[in-house]
């Protein structure tokens, strides 16, 4: 979708929106898949209510992008524009055991920045790509921990109320790759309350988690992490592996040889290829185990 109306372009500029025309989502997602649309980078949180009002007035649908590491985006010309927060400076401010973090901040850098201030707890998140905002939305987690456990409060734009709000941690429920945020809530900043730990000890935990990832995941390849959520009490990867599906492919979309729940773009895979592979694997798992796997990857299909 293209924004061409000069009056609208001027109104966006007045809101300090950085308009990047004809951006390819294949360059903004870790899977390297996705068509083209206009990207609107938000430099001031306070401009969001006016921005959304403007887009709605012009009947322009939108989607909210973090770091693009959990997304499968459709091919071709996309029928919505993309909103993304620009990174402020500084992204993180530490006060005692509290870390005030902008949602645009890189998650990995946040973990190491907090570690250098002797604040731990998030070691398992090292190696999870993307932004802090995306991690909040997905309740990102690994190796027995999840970001939601450390959330003290979240600043967000609530589309339903059309205003910026602050939610206390107790008002939000964080479950396995699921949160109680409304689908159109936009996370802008978070305050994390983290346990004090000596830097050396945190570093040791980070090294262990890094090693576990390196030994089990196809880190050099384009992926979106796990494609499916683990069903209660079971492992999606193990079920796919047991069916001998590692290496199964549709075009350049392929089940990783290394981790059966990671599907990789081994070249020029299209969203159509990847969706066909997902449907094929889901069907085979359901037939063999009677379990319908649910997507962990977020699909934005036109």
Ligand X SMILES: Cc1cc2nc3c(=O)[nH]c(=O)nc-3n(C[C@H](O)[C@H](O)[C@H](O)COP(=O)(O)OP(=O)(O)OC[C@H]3O[C@@H](n4cnc5c(N)ncnc54)[C@H](O)[C@@H]3O)c2cc1C
Q: CA-to-CA distance for 96 and 178, rounded, in angstroms? A: 29
List the end-to-end C-alpha distance of the chain, in Å, as a whole number: 11
Nearest partner of 134 among 161, 167, 110, 163, judged by Cα = 110
Q: CA-to-CA distance for 248 and 263, rounded, in angstroms? A: 9
Residue 138 within binding range of ligand X, rule CB under 6 A: yes
Residue 32 within binding range of ligand X, rule CB under 6 A: no
Q: CA-to-CA distance for 250 and 279, rounded, in angstroms? A: 11
Choosing from 32, 34, 35, 66, the residue that interacts with ligand X (CB under 6 A) is 66
Task: Return the range that interacts with ligand X (CB under 6 A); candidates 65-73, 192-200, 202-210, 242-250.
Answer: 65-73
Write out the binding residues for ligand X, residues 95-124 only, by CB under 6 A.
Answer: 103
Question: Are 20 and 36 spatial neighbours (Cβ–Cβ below 8 Å)?
Answer: no
Of residues 114 and 187, the one with the C-beta less far from ligand X: 187
Task: Return the range that interacts with ligand X (CB under 6 A); candidates 91-99, 110-118, 222-230, 279-287.
Answer: 222-230
Residue 288 Cβ vs ligand X, minimum distance, rounded to whole Å = 25
Of residues 12 and 107, the one with the C-beta less far from ligand X: 107
Of residues 73 and 250, the one with the C-beta less far from ligand X: 73
Choosing from 17, 51, 71, 285, the residue that interacts with ligand X (CB under 6 A) is 71
Choosing from 67, 121, 148, 205, the residue that interacts with ligand X (CB under 6 A) is 67
Nearby residues of 20 by Cβ (< 8 Å), 6 or more positions away: 38, 39, 40, 41
Write out the binding residues for ligand X, residues 238-297 only, by CB under 6 A.
Answer: none
Question: Are 19 and 9 spatial neighbours (Cβ–Cβ below 8 Å)?
Answer: yes
Burial class (CB in 10 A: 0-12, 13-18, 19+), 127: buried
Write out the binding residues for ligand X, residues 180-209 only, by CB under 6 A.
Answer: 186-187
**Tokens 């983290």 found at:** 194
Nearby residues of 56 by Cβ (< 8 Å), 6 or more positions away: none
Of residues 135 and 277, the one with the C-beta less far from ligand X: 135
Of residues 194 and 224, the one with the C-beta less far from ligand X: 224
Residue 70 Cβ vs ligand X, minimum distance, rounded to whole Å = 4
Task: Return the range that interacts with ligand X (CB under 6 A); candidates 32-40, 52-60, 223-231, 272-280.
Answer: 223-231
Q: How many residues bind to ligand X according to rule CB under 6 A?
A: 29
Q: How many helices (H) and strands (E) does the chain have?
A: 7, 18
**Footprint of ligand X (CB under 6 A):** 30, 64-71, 103, 128-131, 133-135, 137-138, 140-142, 186-187, 217, 223-225, 298
């Amino acid at each position: 979708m293209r924004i061409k109306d000069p009056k609208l372009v001027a109104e966006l500029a007045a809101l300090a929106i950085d308009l990047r025309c004809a951006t390819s989502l294949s360059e903004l997602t870790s899977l390297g898949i996705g068509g083209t649309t206009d990207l609107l980078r938000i430099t001031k949180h306070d401009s969001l209510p006016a921005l959304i009002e403007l887009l709605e007035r012009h009947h322009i649908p939108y989607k909210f992008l973090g770091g693009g590491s959990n997304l499968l985006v459709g091919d071709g010309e996309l029928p919505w524009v993309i909103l993304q927060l620009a990174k402020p400076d500084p992204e993180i401010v530490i006060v005692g055991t509290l870390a005030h973090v902008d949602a645009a901040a890189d998650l990995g850098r946040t973990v190491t920045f907090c570690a250098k201030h002797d604040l731990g707890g998030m070691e398992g998140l090292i190696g999870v790509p993307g932004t802090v905002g995306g991690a909040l939305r997905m309740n990102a987690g690994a190796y027995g921990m999840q970001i939601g456990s450390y959330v003290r409060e979240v600043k967000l734009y609530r589309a339903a109320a059309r205003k910026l709000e602050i939610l206390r941690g107790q008002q939000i429920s964080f479950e396995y790759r699921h949160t109680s945020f409304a689908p159109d809530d936009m996370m802008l900043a978070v305050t994390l309350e983290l346990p004090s730990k000596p830097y050396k000890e945190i570093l040791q935990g980070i090294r262990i988690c890094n090693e576990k990832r390196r030994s089990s995941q196809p880190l050099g390849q384009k992926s979106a992490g796990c494609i499916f959520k683990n069903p209660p009490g079971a492992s999606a990867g193990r079920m796919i592996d047991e069916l001998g599906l590692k290496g199964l492919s549709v075009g350049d979309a392929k089940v990783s040889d290394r981790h059966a729940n990671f599907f990789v773009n081994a070249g020029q895979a299209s969203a159509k290829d990847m969706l066909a592979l997902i449907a094929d694997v889901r069907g085979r798992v359901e037939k063999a185990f009677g379990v319908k796997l649910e997507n962990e990857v977020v699909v934005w299909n036109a």
